Every structure is written in structure tokens, then in C-alpha cells.
Chains A and B, each alone.
Chain A
Amino acid sequence: MIDNNNNKDLVSSPDEEKREAKVVIELRDVKRYFQVGSETVKALRGISFKIYEGEFVTIQGTSGSGKSTLLNQLGCLDTPTSGEYYLDGVPVRKMSKNQRAHLRNRKIGFVFQNYNLLAKTTAVENVELPLMYNSKYTAKQRREAAIKALQAVGLGDRLEHKSNQMSGGQMQRVAIARALVNDPTILLADEATGNLDTRTSFEMLVLFQKLHAEGHTIIFVTHNPEIAEYSSRNINLRDGRIREDTLNPHIKSAAEALAALPKTQDD
């Protein structure tokens, strides 16, 4: 195993205040309670952390640990009951729905477990989608950006393929291209390998590591502890609290893991 040392000196310690890298995400004692009937479900019981530009963070936990709720907070899909969340310096808690929609459009790239591509729509059109909601882009610029993003995920030759003509891995690549197309501050992946077989999962990890190496900030939410071995930092959740927040000094190479996989019969 060869360590991926590219960002090693940037991520010496997660709690250290003095760093050269910019803070892109800061949570201060974020709590999220839900009222279910007469009971209050405490999904997040006070979460605080910072994520710096260029980190590849896995947020890992079992179901019920609060990781989905945390993902919704990070993705500006929801607001905290109390505490503060700053995305790229912008306080999110008091934002209106529309302001958050705008913020998501400019600063966040989502990758979902089940790809969420538009049916019967070509790869390029799917990738263009976030830019459709950004009036700064002309149709031509939109298309150029979408093609660039698709090339970045290795689908430069499948621009006009429709979503129903693609394999799971290809669909997830399109979804990643869609997340990249608006040049987001953070790439937010929700169980992005959850629906894929082992080989394709590793292919995705290779892609994420490549994007990480190119300087993207990635937050990867997963229940799978194995994935943490390929990220630069792992935040482990349990019962709505951070159980562990560790830097990974020995980042595994997904490319090597992929090469080491036994060849399968299917293509």
C-alpha cells in the first residue's frame, strides 16, 4: 500500500485551528430535533466540526446514527434546530427556502445513492440540469461545461447516451459529472457506491480519489467503514454525536485495490 500523501501536510489534525487551508464548512453545536407525535426525536445532539478545502471526508455511521440528518444539514436541504452552520462562510440556519435553493445551486454538488438521473434524457442534458437554474449560463456555456464535466468523469464518449441505456457505474459517473458541473465548493455524496457491485464501487472510489487529488472537497456519507480507508479523514457518528473524528495517515489507493480484485466473468 502506498499512501496518498498529496494532502498530508494540510490535514495534520482536524481540530487544529491554525491552518493554511480555507474552512469551507463549519458546524457549531448543531442540533436537529424532530417532533414525532408527542415524542421528540433527537437526530443530532450537538455536532461541531470544520472541514477544510481539499479534504476528502467520510461521514460514517450505522443507520440511526444521524448521518442522513447531518447530510441534509450539510446539503442545505434542512436547517438546524439550534447551533450554527456556515457553508463557505455563509450562515445557513436563518436562510429562507429560496435562499438555500440558490446556495445549493452555486456551492453544492450532490451525488445520490440511486443516481437520480432524469429518465429518457441524455447524459449531457442530465449534467446541464443544475446550470438550467443558473441564469448566468447561456445554453452554449451550459453545454460546454457539461461536456467538460463528463470528460472529467471519463464519459466523454457517451455524451448523447440516454440514462436508460447506461450501466449503474455509468449512471453514477453522470451523476458525479452533474455534481461537478457548477464547480461546487463541496461535493456531497450520499452512499454513492451503495447500489454498485464491488468492482464498480472501486471504480467510483478511484474517481473520487482522482477528484480529491485535483483539489475538490468531498464529503462522502456512508454506512460502510471500509470506504473510510480511502478518504483523508473519517467522522464517525453514533446516536447523533461524533464518536470519532480522525485523520487517515495511510490513505489506501482505490486504483490498487481495483487492480487487486479478482477478474470476474462478466464485463
Chain B
Amino acid sequence: MNILNLLKVSINAVASNKMRSFLSMLGIIIGVAAVIAMMSIGQGSKESIRKELSAMGTNLLTIRPGADQGPGGVRQDPSAMQTLKAADYERILAEKKFVQYVSPEVSASGQVVYGNSNTSASIYGETPEYLDIKQWTVEEGVCFTEEDIHKSAKVCVIGTTIVSELFGDNVDPLGKTIRFKSIPLRVVGVLKSKGYNSWGMDQDNVIIAPYTCVMKRIAAQTYFSSIICSALTEELSDNAIEELTQILRQSHKIKDESGDSDDFTIRSQAEMMQTMSSTMDTVTLILGIAAGFSLLIAGIGIMNIMLVSVTERTKEIGLRMAVGATGLVISVQFLIESIIISVTGGIFGVLLGIGASNFVLPIFGMPSSVPSWSIFLSFGVCVAIGIIFGYIPARKAANMDPIEAIRHE
């Protein structure tokens, strides 16, 4: 019997038991749809984070105090977190070649007050170059100047959330004085809105002021929280990191041969993106495995139905054997049947999964993007399920004794 005949026989068998075939497909449909939806959430999140990170500038470099601990490293001496000083900044400014913009950063959080309105916000002490690094623009007014930095001037630019929280819609914030921890700051500019980032943080709930001002008057510290730089281009990021490392090692008197570890860490945005995407890959994998289990259960469901089907069709199997079907032909027939069920279920599952990813997930604000490989993977898994879980019922059918099978009632 050729395979085409077998296929026809199997399709007829599946089609003549529509309800049962559909029910056993249902598990596969849901399982595959779940896998695809999960993969799509994973991929979607990855893409949206990537987009966001690259919007911040792919050539961004962040220098943080303290040695590179990696995730979950030991807690360091607090003094280790105070290693970035003004001297470092000046040295970078003087010696930079691959680095374009530099801005030391000093941050603090607290309450900000205007009149009888108040809100809590973070204040970042920066240089005007910070806005270039972060590709941020001032929508109204101007940014503070180098001179303001020099004078530790009590001026600031604020995000739109601060504007709406403190001033409402009717007051022009420019030229007004707000108080952060009782320090008066004159608003010279309003930042263009950036909205929320993918971690749900409001990026507009910020106050940016000259770093000298924040350092001396608000945080009252002599060190920077970090130094933000940008490489000339994304490709030159590695050169810039190398350059910054050399500058800081010299500045911190860390000798190459001494074997002392650096007391600072430089991270590039590219590296961040890599870390993020590998984290997202892990999350996607976990989601996928969870959904994959439902496929496994669906496979067991198919096996169950096929076993019932084999028992129910004992007489048919006996007849087929009597008229010349060999055990192999019978087992192939039942294997094809289970593959038809699993693959048809897989097709509907893929459609459902794509539908859910494109139309349902966005309603709940879930980022989604169906990776094409997940479709091929699902198909492969479906065929495998059909074969694996169809095998036992098929073998049962093939091993039947035609004499008993044909007289089975």
C-alpha cells in the first residue's frame, strides 16, 4: 500500500470522527498557541527594551565606582563607592580622544515643593553635555550653562511630570523657583517628554541641575555617583572604554603590574543590551518551557484518544489485516492519523497564537512579536508529538491478532 493511500485512509478516519479529533486537537491547539504567545511576549519585550536602550544612545558609557562585581557579588566597603572624584572628571576631559561627551552624575531623591504643591522626585546633578549623551532636548527655555556649573548656580531643568505636579496647566514654570530639600532652584528649562520606560519608570519625573550645585548644596558629598560618557561612535565604544580605563587607572594610581583590581566599572550600552537580551532570553525560555509542558500533556491526550480509537476499531483492524494489511501498514496508518491530528492542531495553534499575539496581547499592553523560528519549532514539535505519542497505540494496533480482532464485538 503506498503512502498516498494510507494518507487518504487516515484522513478519512480523522474526518469521520470530527468531534473526537477536534477534542484531541484542542490540547495541541492551546499548547502551541501558548508557546507562540509566550515566545512572542519574550521577543516583543526584548525588542522594546532594545529599542529603548538604543534610544538612550548606543554609544553611552557609564563609569560606576567600585569593582566589577557581576550579578550577586559580595557587598563592598562603602568607601569603595566613593572613588570617582572631580580630579577624574578633569583628567578625562583633558585626555579624551575616543570619548565625545562627559558628564559627572550626582543624584539624590527627595521632595520638591512649589507654593503649596509638592511631589517626590529624583534630582540629577549633571553637565549640559548630559542631554547630548542621553539624546534629550529642552522643549521650553534653555539648559543651564558651563558658567552655571562653575558657579554651582541654583538653576535646573525639569521633566514634564514635575511641571504638571507642581504647576498645573496654567502656570508657566520658566523663571519660577522650586525647592528641593529646602534648596531653592530656579527653573530655566522644561525637558521634552520621554514617557515611561519598559520597567515602568516615569522618565519625566526628574530634575536636572548643575552637578556642582547638587554635589555641594543638596547631596553634600565630594564624590560622584557615576560618570556618564559617550563614545565618538558606537563602533569606538571599546576604544573609549580602553581609554577611560587607562585614564582612571592612572588617576587612581592603580599600576598595571601590581595586579590590583580596578576600583571602578565601565559599562557600555552595547554590553547592557547584551545583558538585557540574555536575561530576556532566559525569561522567554522559562515561559516557553512552561507552555511546552502543556504540549506534552496535549501529546498524552492524543495518545489516550488514539488508544481508545484503536480499541474501538479492533474489528476494522481485523478486517484490514484479513484482506492483506501487514502489521507495519496498520501501524503506519495509525501513526499518520496521530500526526494528522497533531499537525492540524499545530496549524490551528499557530494561527491562534499569531492572532493572540497580534490582537489580544496588545490590548493588555503586552509587547509582542512572533519570532518566525517559533512557528517552525512548533511544527516540528507537533510532528514529534504525533510520532512519539502515536507510537504506542500504533504498535498496539499492529500487534493485534486478525482472528480475534475480526470477531471482536
Contact = CB atoms under 8 A, between A and B. Distances in A.
Nearest to A71: B403
Contact of A135 (B2, B319, B402): B2
A170 to B, nearest CB: 18
B16 A119 contact: yes
Interface stretch (A98-106, A193-201, A247-255): A98-106
Given A98-B327, A118-B316, A77 B1 contact: no
A117 to B, nearest CB: 8
A129 B1 CA distance: 10
B363 interface: no
Contact of B323 (A97, A110, A119): A110
Interface string B15-42: 0100000000000000000000000000
Contacts of B1: 132-135
A72 B403 contact: yes
Contact of B320 (A106, A112, A119, A129): A129
Interface string A200-221: 0000000000000000000000
Contacts of B322: 75, 77, 104, 110
Contacts of A104: 322-324
Contacts of B319: 112, 116, 118, 129
A75 B407 CA distance: 14
B247 interface: no
B14 to A, nearest CB: 12
A150 to B, nearest CB: 16
B323 A178 contact: yes
A66 to B, nearest CB: 14
B258 interface: no
Instruction: State the main secondary structure of chain B at its contact with A.
Output: helix
Nearest to B322: A110
A133 B324 contact: yes
A78 B322 CA distance: 11
Given A133-B329, A135-B2, A120 B16 contact: yes
Contact of A132 (B5, B16, B327, B328): B5
A246 interface: no
A98 B406 contact: no
Contacts of A151: none
A54 to B, nearest CB: 23
B285 interface: no
B321 A101 contact: yes
B12 A121 contact: yes
B325 interface: yes
Interface string A83-123: 00000000000000110011011100010100010111100
A120 B320 CA distance: 16
Contact of A116 (B2, B12, B406): B406
B315 interface: yes
| B interface bracket (residues with beta carbon within 8 Å of A) | 20 to 34
Contacts of A112: 319, 406
Interface string B383-409: 000000000000000000011001000
A130 interface: yes
B320 A98 contact: no
Nearest to A129: B323
Interface in A119-164: 119-121, 129-130, 132-135
Contacts of B12: 121
Interface string B150-164: 000000000000000
Nearest to A115: B319
B314 to A, nearest CB: 11
B183 interface: no
Interface in B102-153: none
Nearest to B4: A139
Contact of B403 (A78, A133, A182): A78
Contacts of A98: 326-328
B324 A101 contact: yes
A182 B324 CA distance: 11
Interface in B323-353: 323-329
A78 B321 CA distance: 12
B402 A133 contact: no
A177 B65 CA distance: 92
Contacts of A132: 1, 5, 9
Contacts of B328: 98
Contact of A134 (B324, B327, B403): B324
B15 to A, nearest CB: 9
A120 to B, nearest CB: 5
Given A77-B402, A78-B403, A116-B315, A133 B325 contact: yes
A119 B406 CA distance: 14
Contacts of A105: 323-324
Interface in A59-79: 72, 75, 77-78
A106 B329 CA distance: 16
A102 B2 contact: no
12 contacts: A72-B403, A77-B402, A97-B326, A98-B327, A101-B321, A104-B322, A119-B316, A132-B5, A132-B9, A135-B1, A135-B2, A178-B323
Q: Which 5 A-B pairs have the closest CB atoms?
A: A105-B324, A130-B323, A133-B324, A101-B326, A98-B326
